[in-house]
Chains A and B, each alone.
Chain A
Amino acid sequence: MTDFATGILWIVGSSFAFLAALGVLRMPDVFTRMQASTKASTLGLGCLLIGAALQFADWASIIRVVSIGAFTLLTTPVSAHVIARASYRADVPLWDGTVLDERREAVEQAQPTGQPEMG
């Protein structure tokens, strides 16, 4: 029973991980790539780790696997946020089809003349 569950979880998890990699390859700009990477890789890694935890019999390994999962769930949103903020402030170009950039509109409204200050 646990073997069957582990097999299913590993198939689902590795499929999600592959979809994340495919999204990183195919998405048009860095922000869309990042959301494909973070969301799908968190879900994929979660499935892989749960499947691995079902296979271990000793508590030491289970605690290690769970701590890897908890750490990844904590750090992935933080690193995604930091990279998104950094690349926005470094003026990395958005995709041509972008329809809404609220921060740039707000900055230009605050100071209509001259170069908008990216702070």
Chain B
Amino acid sequence: MLEFGTQFALVTLAAAVLVAVVRLVRGPTLPDRVVAMDLIGVLVVGLIAVLAASTGVHATLDAAIVIALVAFVATIAYATYVEKGHPE
């Protein structure tokens, strides 16, 4: 069950990142792209957690923490940019 679960999770998360990239490329407005980028950050954190747990390499969890922090700050910064009046 663990073997199948790991394979399924890795493939599904990679497919989810690809689907989110489609939205990131398509737009049509900047907030759409920010939402897609935020989702990609969350998905990559999940991918790293699954990889770290299945391979036993603990060090990659630090990278997941950093990605979660940077994605949050980037979203707040983009929101300020949009709110100042640059919607495109």
Chain A's nearest CB lies how many Å from the CB of B40? 9
Note all chain A residues with C-beta closer than 8 A to B64: 68
Q: Are A25 and B19 in contact (CB under 8 A)?
A: yes
Chain A interface helix/strand/loop/mixed: helix
Q: Which of A29-59 contact B (CB under 8 A)?
A: 30, 33-34, 37, 41-42, 44-45, 48-49, 51-53, 55-56, 58
Q: How many A-B residue pairs have CB under 8 A?
A: 177
Do A15 and B12 have beta carbons less than 8 Å apart? yes
- Residues B1 and A58 in contact, CB atoms below 8 Å apart: no
* Other-chain contact of B32, A15, A20, A33, A51 (Cβ < 8 Å): A33
User: How far is A55 from B13 in the complex, measured between Cα atoms in Å?
Assistant: 19
A3 at the interface (CB under 8 A from B): yes
Q: How far is the CA of A115 from the CA of B43 in the complex (A)?
A: 41
Q: A37 contacts B29, CB within 8 Å?
A: no
Residues of A within 8 A of B2 (CB): 3-4, 6-7
Tally of contact residues, A, Cβ under 8 A: 55
Number of interface residues of B (CB under 8 A): 52
Name the A residues within 8 Å of B9 (CB-CB). 10-11, 13-14, 48
Docked-complex contact B23 and A41, CB < 8 angstroms: no
Chain B interfacial positions (CB closer than 8 Å to A)? 1-6, 8-9, 12-13, 15-17, 19-20, 22-23, 29, 31-32, 34-36, 38-39, 42-43, 45-46, 49-50, 52-54, 58, 61-62, 64-65, 68-69, 72, 75-76, 78-80, 82-83, 85-87
